Amino acid sequence: MLVAIVDDEAALREATESLLKSAGFDACSFGSAEDWLRSARRDQFGCLVLDVTLPGMSGLELQRHLAWSGCQLPIVFITANEDRDGQMAQALRANAVAYLQKPFCGENLLSAVRSAFGTRT
């Protein structure tokens, strides 16, 4: 159960990776959507923990890109920003598993990731 964490905040990536590993998940983190897209392991991930606001390609843009390419990778969105322009509704309509506001409770993230693996087809 390999989880990709994509967030531009290094401290949050490290903390999230540590949390997921302590719960028994394998996790790997990336600083941008483009870094994740270039990853040689991209097809091995079973879930994506994805920041909404990233430099370059945003999390929502990555979600659209994946959907367009036929990839149904479950996504748990995280964000520190207010829900501008209905981003939460947009993400959930496009089948995101969850949309968590930073700082989020670790158990809420773990629950969302477990749900992502449980709903993956």
pLDDT in tens, 9-32: 999 999 999 999 999 999 999 999
Q: Which CATH fold topology does 2-119 show? A: Rossmann fold (3.40.50)
pLDDT value of position 81: 83
Task: Pinpoint the alpha helices (H) of the chain.
Answer: 10-22, 33-37, 59-68, 87-93, 106-119
Angle between helices 10-22 and 106-119 (to 10 degrees): 70
pLDDT in tens, 55-85: 999 999 999 999 999 999 999 999 988 776 7
Q: How far apart are CA 58 and CA 36, in angstroms?
A: 12
